[in-house]
Amino acid sequence: MAVFRNEERFITLVQTRWFVGSEMKRSFVISHKELSIEKNFTPFDANGLWKKRLKQKYPKYGTKELIEFFDSPGKYAESMRRFFGMRSEKASILFSQTVGLKVLGNLDDFIRKNMLEETNIEDEFFSLKEGFQSLVKAHNQILKAEIQLKLLNPIVEKDKELQLLNQKRHEFDELQNTTPVYLTTRKQDLLETEIEKQEQELNDYDLKIKDSTEVIQQKEDDKTTLMVEIKQDEVGNQIAELEKRISTQTKEKERRGGLLNKYNNLIRKINLQENPDEKYFDTQLETINNLKQTLEKDAVEVHRSCILEEEKVKRLNNDYTEKAIELETLRKQKNNITGRVVEIRQEILQVTGATEAEIPFIGELLQIKTNAKNKWEFAIEKVLHHFALQLIVPERFYHHVNQYVNDNNLKGRIVYQRIKEENFLNQFVPDVQDSLFSKMELNRQSEYADWLENQIRTHFDYVCTDDLSQFKTYKRALTSSGLIKNNRRHEKDDRSKVFDKSHFVLGWDNKEKIKITQKVLSEIDIEIKTAERQITTYKRQYDRMNKEKEIAIRLSGFEKFQEINWQEMVVSIQQVAEKKEALIKTNNRVETLKKQLDELIAELKVLNENLDGFKSTRTLINDKCINNREELIACKQTLSEFSDMNFCPQFSFFESCFEKLKQLTLSTFESIQKEIRDKLFSDINENNNKIRSSEDKLSECLIEFKKPSQELREKFPDWESDTDKLSLNLEFISDYIELYNRIKNEQLYEYKERFKKYLNNDMIDRMTKFQAHLETQEENIRENIEALNSSLEKINFRPNPETYIFLDIKRDNSEKIRQFRLNLKEWKPNMAEYLITKEDQILENSFLKIKSLIETLSNNENERRYVTDVRNWLNFSAKELRREDKSIYRTYDSTGKLSGGEKAQLTYTILGSAIAYQFGISQTGRNTNSFRFICIDESFSNQDTEKANYLMQLCKQLHLQLLCVTPDTQTGVIEPYISAVHFVKRESNRNAVIYDLPILQFQAERQKYIAAQS
């Protein structure tokens, strides 16, 4: 207990302790009345009756409590400091330090820890940090929007590219639709022009034929006249008869010669002898008959082989078409499943509105691990093949799927599994070494992954082993070669081409299967070409055999050698000619007429040849004209189907696309038509490939946006809520474009404005207040040190020369403090520059500096407390100044190098001024609401009289009440300064008794004691 008194005012401090069982209890009391242990705390009990008695004795005075009880020392000390006018809890620490009065060590640390208030900035910092979160949120919205724009931009660009390709596809469709109409129209125009030209040529040739016929008729008349004149001559009649015989024999010779030429031409083709004599002719005729029979038999065999090969080509073409469709399907998807089941799944998706991820094939959610693929892929694919082709149908689509499957002819087979929401304990199922499941990888992004894992573990719990001794011990097992054991049933199917890699269906990446399918297509194409070459060979052989057989048949018609013996007729003609020549020599007139007749016959021959040429040419032109008319009729019939349509605009576009049309004539029509169709077909295929490629890339972009990286999802947890309603179906690409435009034109602007608002209206204000708070604390410290210096200036530290102590302040230039203060200055944005340039990067840089500052302070609590404690911003030292001119006499950073007396004197001065400051004692000492009591224990035992006197004078100057605890032998130095002595004496070496004596009484009693002893 301690009682403190001013005039008419008391403060009593009480601490009580007692035990309840083995637990010590305590209570603290502050009273505004004078209390004593004997009067107010006796009897003292553990039940707290003594508290009630005090409350009853000292009730409230108005609103003021005269007695206050505290359970904790903290509240007790806080109230005590308030009542005594102490500045902070440092006052209590300084009070305890004066008891031992230890010598100062580091002056800088002492001033910071004992003379200055600790600057607690934590609340302000956390308030600043809390406000910063709103700014961070606004900034994150900007970052997210910018990243979303970055990911959406390729979607927009790819969509534009796809639209252009689709527009091009539309143009190609128009070209394809226009092609037959345009080419037919052009052909019609060309035919009409050509027919008109041919009709004119026919008219020209009709005139030529008419003129030639008239000339020939005149010449024939002249010929007849000459022949009549020759006949009327007797010799001439004989000559005419001989000429008739020569003519007949000549014709027979020519006939036989012609037959021989035919015979030789035919016999040459089957590699037999030409121009045979009569004997060899008969032998060769027998050979020809035998050859005819052989050729008939071989031709039948070749024809049969050709038919078989054609059937093979037909089958291969069907296989090629199926594989080409399969390849096309694979390119449009990611999985390995093809065929009618894919088309059925697409029909179901259209009816239900589901996505492929919502109604997947089981096979596209499973794939074999890379390390197991080489050895076990064949066997596992075989086991899971039919299971992989099944569809997964969740409960929400189940009714619609049933309805569609039941009401429609699927033109194929489909199996699907109905899935309800269930919880599976897969994590508790023990893993079996070398199990089929251990070699599988599941698509964990699918909502059906747990169900699928349960299915495989339950229904396909095969063990993969090539050790047949172990194989027979398992209920279900399989070997890498495809031997499957299911209880007692064993199966192995090694039929060729029943199951190869082209039939594999597992996995969500079909690049390998595309390569395999392309390879199979290439192999089928090679087979087709090989078979077609073989067919061509067979057909050539068959044609050759038929031709040779036909030759043999025709040769077998030459039954007698006489038919080709033309030499016989040469001899006969020669004999008749000799007789004719003899008669002519005897008749000159006949010779002249004959000469004229020969010339006329020669002229007629030329005229008839010319006429035949005219007729032949006219016939050719007429045939072509007839054909052209027929083609023209066909063109008009074709164009009549489009008579109600206007193709003029399309024709202009069509002509602009094909330069070759400028070279179009009737003779080049077929080749140019084929070239245009081939080019159009090639361009369409190329464009379709580009569309598929663009769609694939666009799909990848959609996936990247809707399901971004884990890093982005962690950075922006609300990303999925933005993309949840977006579909990965390209039909809904407009939703992405709409989102892109909304972010670009609306949201990003709103986010930036919100960010500016938070930064300008809130964060800058918070940061400014935070900075100002720290700077205000620095100013307060400087003011407090200035107040201390005012006290120290009145204390003579050294008598000769007269000096006093001055506390000097300098900025701390350590890296941490310097950088922190620099960061506090540099965060502010240059608003003047921003208002001129509107450059967002200025605000962004300010945000990043604030962010860096707050993160640095948040990440290291010790460092934060250090740099935000403003006391650490300053370094302190003591300077001893001459009172005369205030020049520096000496500087003190610590007491390490001082003598004992100097250390004590500096300690008294600094500690005393600190106590006066913390206790709230004014320079005049007239501040009644201040605590001024200190206790010094044995401080004079090692000090000389001069230093002891200095201490007492210092306490007097600082208006301190001093309690000195010292042996009675050391009281001499303090007696001039004290008013009472509390003398402690031990009675009978047992109990200690305190005698409270005024100083004069104490001195008188001491004199009496000394006198009695002497």
**Residue-wise DSSP of 235-262:** HHHHHHHHHHHHHHHHHHHHHHHHHHHH
pLDDT confidence of 240, banded at 50, 70, 90? confident
Residues ≥6 apart with Cβ < 8 Å to 215? 607
Q: Which residue has the tokens 């006290």?
A: 791
What pLDDT score was predicted for residue 589?
Answer: 64
Burial 432-459 (b: 16+ CB within 10 A, else e): eebbbbebbebbeebebbbbbbebbbee
Question: Rounded distance, CA 552 to CA 168, Å?
Answer: 61
Judge contact between 342 and 398, C-beta under 8 A: no
pLDDT tens readout for residues 166-177? 888 888 787 777
What pLDDT score was predicted for residue 542?
Answer: 87
12 forms bridges with which residues in the sheet? 3, 31
What pLDDT score was predicted for residue 297?
Answer: 86
Question: Rounded distance, CA 499 to CA 595, Å?
Answer: 94
Query: Does residue 809 register a pLDDT over 60?
Result: yes
As a whole number, the mean pLDDT across the chain is 83
**DSSP letter for each residue of 424-436:** --GGGSPPPTTBT
Query: Does residue 810 register a pLDDT over 70?
Result: yes
Helix (H) and strand (E) counts in the chain = 30, 19
Mean pLDDT: which of 42-51, 290-299, 568-577, 800-809 is highest?
A: 800-809
Q: Is 384 exposed, middle or buried (0-12, 13-18, 19+ CB in 10 A)?
A: buried
pLDDT tens readout for residues 688-719? 888 888 988 988 898 888 888 888 888 888 88
Judge contact between 933 and 905, C-beta under 8 A: no
What pLDDT score was predicted for residue 964?
Answer: 83
Residue 3: strand, helix, or coil: strand
Judge contact between 904 and 952, C-beta under 8 A: no
Question: Rounded distance, CA 971 to CA 901, Å?
Answer: 19
Question: Rounded distance, CA 117 to CA 857, Å?
Answer: 21
Question: Rounded distance, CA 258 to CA 428, Å?
Answer: 102
Reported as type and span, the H/E element at residue 5 is strand 2-6
Q: Which of 123, 139, 147 is nearest to 851 (CA)?
A: 139
pLDDT confidence of 5, banded at 50, 70, 90? confident
Task: Classify residue 202 as left (phi > 0), alpha (psi -120 to 50) or beta.
Answer: alpha
pLDDT confidence of 468, banded at 50, 70, 90? very high
Question: Rounded distance, CA 581 to CA 572, Å?
Answer: 15
Judge contact between 131 and 766, C-beta under 8 A: yes
Question: Rounded distance, CA 398 to CA 262, Å?
Answer: 83
| HSE of 606, CA atoms in CB hemisphere, 13 A | 5
Tell me the average pLDDT across 635-656: 71
pLDDT tens readout for residues 888-903? 998 887 766 777 677 7
What pTM value is reported for the model?
0.46
What pLDDT score was predicted for residue 498?
Answer: 52
Residues ≥6 apart with Cβ < 8 Å to 696? 331
pLDDT tens readout for residues 175-228? 777 777 778 888 888 888 888 888 888 998 898 898 888 888 878 887 887 787
Widest CA span of the chain, in angstroms? Answer: 224
pLDDT confidence of 429, banded at 50, 70, 90? confident
What pLDDT score was predicted for residue 923?
Answer: 56
Question: Which whole-number Å values give the CA distances from 31 to 57, 69, 707, 880, in the listed order?
Answer: 12, 9, 71, 44
Query: Does residue 238 register a pLDDT over 70?
Result: no
pLDDT tens readout for residues 911-949? 777 777 777 775 555 566 777 788 877 655 555 677 777
Higher pLDDT, 102 or 58: 58
Q: Which of 850, 848, 846 is nearest to 830 (CA)?
A: 846
